[in-house]
A = this chain, B = another copy of it.
Amino acid sequence: MITVPRSHDGPPRILIAPGGARPTMLAAVRAGGGTVVDDPAEAEGLIWIAPRDPSRIATTLASGPDIRWVQLPFAGIEPFHGHLTSDHVWTSGKGVYAEPVAEMVLAMLLAGMRNLTGYARETTWSGHVGRNLLGARITVLGGGEITRALIPLLAPFRCQVTVLRRLAEPFEGAQRTGTLADLHTSLADADAVVVALALTPQTRHVIDAAALEAMCAHALLVNVGRGGHVDTDALVAALAAGSIGGAALDVTDPEPLPDGHALWTEPRCLITPHVGNTLEMGIPLLEARVRENVARFAAGQPLIGLVDVEAGY
């Protein structure tokens, strides 16, 4: 458990940057017991609210010698990978968005398995297609907050859940656990495969042609991690060949998926435009996290959503 040493007494002085903060975010900092400051030189903590723009974070930190803690807004922090200094404590939105994203995973599993995607595109009373999620075998790649939020949603369906993660430790609610070394074995008997990993060099293209080949012909691939987890060209080929049953992707590579891309018209593929957690859903959730972390920072308690600077998430 890492706590962040304070350099001052009194309410923690928090800078919200790079500008344009909502009044509700200022209110969240204050509700956590913090004071909002405008000058980096006065700040002890930094709430960085631009999820994809790290460009001015280095100069901000250079102007703020007392800044010990940086809160990033999203769970996926790839844009900040070159900026994660080891002399600051970094926290991300990790876990904040887990429930809406887990809800999206369940929506995609059900839409795919019950063929709602296919039926949505029909204009005639067509035949019976679909499988039950009830009792299905689900392999989840990633043992993070999304998976933690997904397991209770799956519980009433009595699925057989396998979780693959860095360490093959038991995962609460999963029947089996393994590491990515067990990938192909775990894909081979899954009715659906859910990618809910962080994107790192090790997990890039984890679903490649060989992984798709290992999947059952009826199996559904759901990706709510990052587009780069899936080799898009290999997926297009697998869907066209019918070597997997379907795909539901909330993230794509490239992203946004360009007009005219083969996946837009692939009958067994659903594309959603990275809406696992929308801004509308996420803002109040992030603000609640900021309030909580400011209060913990003030009290010298461990912060939530700590980034492992070396692992990059």
List A residues at the B interface (Cβ < 8 Å). 99-100, 103-104, 106-108, 110-111, 114-117, 119-130, 132-134, 152-153, 155-157, 256-259, 264-265, 270-273, 275, 278-281
Q: Are B111 and A116 within 8 A (Cβ)?
A: yes
Question: How many angstroms between the C-alpha atoms of A117 and B119 in the bound complex?
Answer: 9
What distance in Å separates the Cβ of A245 from its nearest Cβ neighbour in chain B?
Answer: 15
Q: Are B128 and A279 within 8 A (Cβ)?
A: yes
- In chain B, what residue has the closest Cβ to A264? B123
Check A281/B107 contact, CB under 8 A, given A124-B259, A273-B127. no
Output the residue of A100, A103, A127 with the most chain B CB within 10 A: A103
Question: How many angstroms between the C-alpha atoms of A156 and B154 in the bound complex?
Answer: 9
- Which residues of B are found within 8 Å of A107, using beta-carbon distances? 107, 110-111, 114, 116
Q: Are A270 and B119 within 8 A (Cβ)?
A: yes
- In chain B, what residue has the closest Cβ to A270? B120
Q: Are B133 and A103 within 8 A (Cβ)?
A: yes
Q: Are A257 and B125 within 8 A (Cβ)?
A: yes
Q: Are B278 and A130 within 8 A (Cβ)?
A: yes
Question: How many angstroms between the C-alpha atoms of A117 and B132 in the bound complex?
Answer: 19
